[in-house]
Amino acid sequence: MTTVVVTTERFGELEVPEDRVLSFPDALPGFPDAQSFVLVNVPDSDVYFWIQSLDDPALAFLCAIPWGFFPDYAPEVPDDDQEMLALEREEDAMVLCMLTVHREEQTITANLLGPLVINQQTRVGRQVVLYGDEYPVQAPLAS
Amino acid sequence: MLVLTRRTNESLIIGHDIVVTVLEIRGDTVRLGIRAPRDVSVHREEIYARLRAANEAAAGNAASDANLLPKPPKRPNP
């Protein structure tokens, strides 16, 4: 498996397997040039990840697999997004929610309205907007 | 800002491949249909603004912030 070397501000130079490179053709609201990312595990965790931009060494997002924290979270990926991601089976989708650390309050919140949905087969992802107004962009992670 | 007037069932074409059609007008609500290439996302503006603000806040996390992460509850994936 070939590896890719990524220059990052937070982690220095990283060498990652090619299969951890993710393509986000639509980039992200607020970051229109961020179309390539690499998935980096938070040490000793299979629930927390960093999504590090390949285009901008300073850009990285802390994310979590949401199910353990939000057992009732059942995001329905809209048809258009499913089509764009070529998601044929539910199991192919990896869902990550972006986290925001609020240092003053010492709390961490997750964005449930706009999860990152990644097709694990093709490694193409998109920030999907869920329909319905009840999803918070800052849902507290219980500690 | 470009200002155009459309009636029900009339459309706009943006660039070469984005088509916006007025499907229905009821009172002060307009139902729009959008045809766009698969890699162009379309959002209601206020939702896009919410997402942008959330993403910008999330982009500020430092590597050391990962130390604040709670131990995840033990739960199998669905």
The model's pLDDT over A107-129, given as tens digits with 9 standing for 90+, comes to 999 999 999 999 999 999 999 99
User: Mean pLDDT score of chain A, rounded to an integer?
Assistant: 92
- pTM of the predicted model over 0.80: yes
Question: Which residues does B62 contact at the CB level (< 8 Å), separation at least 6?
Answer: A10, A101
Percent of chain A with pLDDT over 90: 78
Asked if A60 and A42 count as a contact pair (C-beta separation under 8 A), the reply is: no
CA distance A129 to A97: 12
Q: What is the mean pLDDT of residues A3-15?
A: 93
| Chain B touched by A36 (CB under 8 Å) | no
Residue B39 above 80 pLDDT? no
Asked if B53 and B46 count as a contact pair (C-beta separation under 8 A), the reply is: no
Residue A88 above 90 pLDDT? no
Grade residue A44 by pLDDT with cuts at 50, 70 and 90: confident
Q: Do B61 and A141 touch (CB under 8 A)?
A: no
Grade residue A134 by pLDDT with cuts at 50, 70 and 90: confident
Grade residue B77 by pLDDT with cuts at 50, 70 and 90: low
Question: Which residues does A58 contact at the CB level (< 8 Å), separation at least 6?
Answer: A9
Residues of A in contact with B72 (CB under 8 A): 45, 47-48, 64, 68-69
In angstroms, the separation between the Cα of residue B30 and the nearest Cα of chain A is 18
CA distance A55 to A101: 23
Best B44, B64, B69, B74 member to test A by mutation, with max A CBs in 10 Å, is B69
| Chain B touched by A114 (CB under 8 Å) | yes
Asked if A93 and A120 count as a contact pair (C-beta separation under 8 A), the reply is: yes
Q: Do A48 and B54 touch (CB under 8 A)?
A: no
